[in-house]
Chain A
Amino acid sequence: MVRTTSIEAYLARLYVALERQFPDDDELVRRIVAEAEDHLREAAERNRPGSSPDAAERDAIRQFGSPQRVAQRFARELKGRLSPLGLLVRSYLYVGMYVGSVLVAAGAALLIVGVFGALFGAAEVFGLDDPPAVSGTKASCEQWPTYYQPDQPGTNTVIDCEIFAAALAASFSQFSESLFQTWSLLLGGGGIVVGAVIWALHRGLLRWHAGVWDDLSGPARVYVIFGALSFGMAAVSFLQGIPSSGGTSLYWTGAAALVAALFCVAYAREGWRMWVAR
């Protein structure tokens, strides 16, 4: 039975760790492993006087560092310094994916609205069209006396059916508006959720491609600013969907702007920190 030495086991783990960092560059991985093997065998030979072969190999490995640490160091040194053009292109691709995903989420929501509208009648259910013309008869008016209060409060008598029809149309319009706000909530909320997921994925992707987060270069910072802006826009969309009445709408608009601003400041701060750390 062939005995596996400590160095061989270490090199196997190093290969796996490097493969994770450089999945598309097998030549580089093999070169690093070959250099590591040369180094470890040389170090083990030098450690051998006074030590057992196993102990000498273990010492050599300890001095070299863990496979994960070595692989991460390579990633930091080599991937954090991609050519500016390469990282620029890659970052904008990510921006496109990010913004595109939010748009897809918005489009999907609108599609659902359209399908439901086709099935149940857009005007009656979802308020996408103008409310239908209301023409009430005396009898139909009398069925809905509470929609119109005549000049004498306290009575439920319908005096003028035309006035009642106008009141009903206005009521329908309010109802439609309410539904639209509901969809804004869903749309904006969905956009935020999708945006957050995509943001996390992209952050991971960038870390994977460009090494540790602190080593990202300028174009990646452009990406975070774009991410912040689109995330902020989703937040605005969400908050605008919250029903408001009277002067409170101003508060909601202000809150939406505040949320967007906070995101922008947070990401800009991170960008600045990365810039300083370079």
Chain B
Amino acid sequence: MRPELLKGNLDLLLLTILSEQPAHGYAVIEELRARSQGAFALPEGTVYPALHRLERAGLLRSHWSDAEARRRRVYQLSGLGQEALEARHEEWQAFARSVRLVVEGV
């Protein structure tokens, strides 16, 4: 899949995954890959900048966790992030519906 198709939707994907449970970066990337059946196999280093940006925007919170063998940064959705997720989900549904109408006529 061409990367530009993902551009603009990465935030929605990350927020969706993190809305279910807090996770560290590697787990988020693995989940993204698994759920998309390998379609969203991004260069992994590009996901972390997006996580940082979402955190700066107040949509995510993060903290260091020592629960596992390695110290890891765990991300979770904030209240603002939940609202943003709902709004972006609606936007995406409307967009996907419109694209389908044009491309497939249904």
A-B interaction: yes
What mask results when residues 70 to 102 of chain A are scored 1 for a CB within 8 Å of chain B, else 0? 100110111001000000000000000000000
In this complex, what residue of A is CB-closest to B53? A77
A78:B73 contact, CB within 8 angstroms: no
**Least CB separation from B52: chain A residue:** A78
The answer to whether A78 and B56 touch (CB under 8 A), given A42-B70, A43-B26, is: yes
Please pick, from A39, A43, A63, A76, the residue contacting B49 in the complex, using a CB distance under 8 A. A76
Interface of B is mostly: helix
Taken together as a complex, chains A and B put the C-alpha atoms of A43 and B72 apart, in Å, by: 14
Any chain B CB within 8 A of the CB of A153?
Answer: no
A39 interface neighbour in B26, B46, B71, Cβ under 8 Å = B26
Option from A43, A74, A76, A81 in Cβ contact (under 8 Å) with B48: A74
Q: How far is the CA of A137 from the CA of B71 in the complex (A)?
A: 100
User: Which A residues are CB-close (under 8 A) to B48?
Assistant: 32, 35-36, 39, 70, 74
Say yes or no for B45: interface residue by CB 8 A criterion: yes
Whether A65 lies near B45 (C-beta < 8 A) is yes
Contacts of A31 in B (CB 8 A): 73
Q: Which of B46, B53, B56 has the most CB of A within 10 A?
A: B46
Known interface pairs A34-B71, A42-B70, A74-B48; A81-B53 also in contact (CB < 8 Å) = yes
Contact surface of A with B, Cβ cutoff 8 Å: 31-32, 34-36, 38-39, 41-43, 63-65, 69-70, 73-74, 76-78, 81
Closest CB pairs A-B (n = 6): A65-B45, A70-B45, A77-B49, A65-B43, A77-B53, A64-B45
24 pairs, A vs B, C-beta closer than 8 Å: A32-B48, A34-B71, A35-B25, A35-B48, A35-B72, A35-B73, A36-B48, A38-B71, A39-B29, A39-B48, A41-B70, A43-B26, A63-B44, A64-B44, A64-B45, A65-B45, A69-B43, A69-B46, A73-B46, A74-B48, A77-B49, A81-B53, A81-B56, A81-B57
